[in-house]
Chain A
Amino acid sequence: MTRRGVSHLVPTAEMTLGPFFPREFAEGVNDLSRGVAGEAIEISGRVVELDGRPLDNLILEIWQADGAGRLENPDFSGWGRAATDAQGNYLFRTIRPGAIPGRAPHINFLILYSGLMRQLQTVMFFESSDDPVLQAVEQARRGRLVAQKINSTSYRFDIRLRGGEETPFFDD
């Protein structure tokens, strides 16, 4: 295909992760905090479908800035992956991200699972703000993207794929 005279390939069609993503691929990669300067935090939550049923072996991946709001830091990967257990629970250990210019501190979440024909993207914020991505969600639903603070180092970010109190997701 040509677009403005430039060679252009169409992105490959995304397809569902399926129910049998190898367990080993999600082991040992949910801790981004090891040996890293910054404020260590834990993010946990439960992922459910319609009717609140928890989802097992669902894959979450995150991408975030370092504690100073930098997206490139040779000492901090910024990336992690976790799988939910049979009760739908996941856990990440990381550091609290700093603010990237023009953005409030946030963590990007990607969700992959059987029954999802393609990836879902959402974002976790630490507090309500005028962040342009948070503002892209209708006002009544923005609170669903703000994590619940459990204590000074723990946050809870539950995700509901579908149904009442559904988590807002983004298309790109």
Chain B
Amino acid sequence: MAILIERRDPLTQAQGVEAGYAQSARRWPGQPLALRPHTPSELSGPEIRRCLPQVRGDLAGYGAKRALGQLIRLRVRVVDEDGAPLPGTVVEAWHCNAAGKYIHPNDTHDAPVDPNFYGAARLVAGDSGLAELRTIKPGAYPVPDTSGWWRPPHVHFSVWGRVWLSRLVTQMFFPGEPLNDSDVILNAIRDPEARGRCIARLVPSRTSELVYEYQLVVRGRRASPGMP
């Protein structure tokens, strides 16, 4: 299947250096990025399931081992630009605990660690491109060395599409969070509709979990005959 990758749209993708995020000015290249031809090397990719096995499908736990916080279920669907699902793709997810603390040696935030919460899962999408994660809602936390920037609750996602250039690493946000309006990372996406699509949708639930639906669209669509 021939896959076509189109240039990033500056309205729907962040552009590099972002005021209010000092590290971006130390790390994003100062020279313009080079445009290259797309050859089979970029338009092919790994069979990622072979490389990365599933690790934990549930971060919330049960009974005495249950993590603190609001139980949630994330229904994440991975599709390409044609809307075609990507069954078998790998979805990595990680987030902080309900108090805003990551299980990571580099997290210096003074918030409690939850002994029953680990915070990292790797899932393999099913037939309809769907991956489900049962977890707890992450908390907000302040970003060190900034003047009052708080990260809103968010979940990090890393997924693979059909080809090397389809790789997607992003963050998912929760609806109705006041901190969404001032988050430097979410608001680096200039187009309000594209930004809105980074916020999960709360759907009715009759279980003990709040259910959110979210769609991840990876780059790439099928090149059809007659298309330039």
Contact = CB atoms under 8 A, between A and B. Distances in A.
Given A17-B169, A20-B106, A9 B79 contact: yes
B164 A11 contact: no
A94 to B, nearest CB: 13
Interface in A96-155: 100, 102-103, 106, 108, 110, 112-121, 132-133, 136-138, 141
A171 B55 contact: no
A16 to B, nearest CB: 6
Interface residues of B, number: 81
Nearest to B105: A23
A136 B100 CA distance: 44
Q: How big is chain A's contact interface, by range?
A: 35 or more
B128 interface: no
A12 B21 contact: no
A56 B94 CA distance: 18
A79 B46 contact: yes
- Chain A contact surface mostly: loop
Interface in A48-98: 49-51, 53, 55-57, 61, 63, 65, 71-72, 77-80
Nearest to B165: A172
Nearest to B189: A13
Contacts of A15: 14, 169-171, 185-186, 188, 198
Contacts of A112: 158, 169
A138 B34 CA distance: 8
A92 B221 CA distance: 31
Contact of A20 (B16, B80, B102, B198): B102
Central interface residue in B8, B15, B41, B167, by most chain A CB within 10 Å? B41
Contacts of B5: 172
A63 B161 CA distance: 14
Contacts, number: 217
Nearest to B80: A9
A115 B170 contact: no
Contacts of B15: 117
A121 B165 CA distance: 9
Interface in B178-201: 185-186, 188-189, 194-195, 197-198
B34 A171 contact: yes
B64 interface: no
A29 interface: yes
26 contacts: A11-B81, A12-B216, A13-B13, A13-B189, A13-B197, A15-B169, A16-B169, A20-B96, A22-B103, A23-B105, A29-B51, A55-B27, A77-B51, A80-B51, A108-B164, A115-B23, A117-B28, A132-B39, A133-B37, A136-B35, A161-B27, A166-B29, A167-B29, A169-B33, A170-B34, A171-B8
Interface of A: 4, 6-25, 29, 49-51, 53, 55-57, 61, 63, 65, 71-72, 77-80, 100, 102-103, 106, 108, 110, 112-121, 132-133, 136-138, 141, 161-163, 166-172
